[in-house]
Amino acid sequence: MAIAAVASLVLGLVWAPLVVVSFALFVAVIYTRGYLVPGTPTLTKTYFPDRVLRWFDKEPEPAFAVAVDEDTDLDVEAVLQDTGALEPCEDIEDLCLTPAFESVWSDELERTDESAVRNRLASIIGVDQSRISTAQAGEWFVARLDGDQIGRWESQAALAADMAADVVLADRVADWEALSPDSRSALARGLRIYLEQCPDCGGAVAFGKETRSSCCRSWDVVVTRCDDCDTKLFEIESAQLEQDAA
C-alpha cells in the first residue's frame, strides 16, 4: 500500500488528477492480486529474512520435503544437510547450522517451556501428556512414562532443544510423524552438537574432554557445555565419536 501511495504522488507531479485515479487503480490491483509489484510473493520469500516475513504473517514455506529411509542405516549428517539444517562451514572444515535453520530453531526454542516439552514427548510416543513427567536424576535429566524412565538427556536445556528441533524438522522431512521415535531422536540430537549459543543462559558453547568412571572401568567423553552456566548440552564417548567419523 505504501508503494501505491508513493507511486501515485509521483504521477501527481505530472498531472494532479492522476493522484486520485492512479491510487484507486493501484488499490484495485492490490485487492485483486494481493500485491502490486509483479513477482512480489517470490521476491519476498527469496530475499526477506524470516523475521521480516513474520511481521506480515507470511511464514516462509519449506522449499523441500526430504524423505528418510528407515530401512537403511540412518545417515544423520546427510539428512540434516538435505533438509537445509546443516551446511559446510565458511572458515573451518566442518559442518555448521545454516543461519535460516538456526533462526527458526531458536525462535521455536524460546516457545518451548516445560509444558511444551511434555506435550511434544507425548505426541512422539503417542500417549496422553498427563502420563509424562520430567525431572533431574543425578547428572541426567530424565523423562518418564507412568513413572518408568523412557529417555535421558544431558540437561533440561538439551531436552528442550531436541523437542524444538523435532517441531522444526517436522516441516522439512516428509512423513516426519511416521518416523520411529529413535530416528526422530537421532536427528534432533544430531543437531544439538552444532549449537553455538546456549539455550539455557545465552552464552557461548564450548567443546571439552572429560573422563567418566564406574566400578569397573573409566572412559573418555567429548562434551559441549555452556561457558556461562556450565549447562551440559551434549556428551558422547570419544571412541564412538572417532568410530562415527571414520
Q: What angle do CA 85, 239, 74 make, to 5 degrees?
A: 40
Residue 217 — pLDDT band, cuts 50, 70, 90?
confident
**Alpha-carbon torsion 68, 70, 72, 73, what sign?**
positive
Alpha carbon separation from 94 to 51, 52, 103, 110 (Å, rounded):
27, 30, 20, 27
pLDDT one-digit tens code per residue, 160-207: 999 999 999 999 998 899 999 999 999 999 999 999 999 999 899 999
Residue 69 — pLDDT band, cuts 50, 70, 90?
confident
Reading phi first (left if > 0) and then psi (alpha if -120 to 50, else beta), residue 223 is in: beta
Q: What percent of the chain has pLDDT over 90?
A: 56
Task: Decide: 58 and 68 in contact? Cβ < 8 Å.
Answer: no
**Burial class for 140, CB neighbours closer than 10 Å (0-12, 13-18, 19+):** middle
**Alpha-carbon torsion 52, 57, 60, 66, what sign?**
positive
For the beta sheet containing 132-137, the strands, ordered from the edge strand earlier in sequence to the opposite edge, are 132-137, 140-145, 148-153
**Alpha-carbon torsion 194, 200, 202, 205, what sign?**
negative
With a cut of 60, say whether residue 239 has pLDDT above it. yes
Predicted local distance difference test score (pLDDT) of residue 78: 93
**Alpha-carbon torsion 218, 222, 226, 232, what sign?**
negative
Q: Share the mean pLDDT of the chain.
A: 78
pLDDT one-digit tens code per residue, 90-105: 988 999 999 999 999 9
Residues in the chain: 246
Nearest to 117 by CA among 64, 70, 153: 153
The CA distance from 97 to 191, in Å, is 8
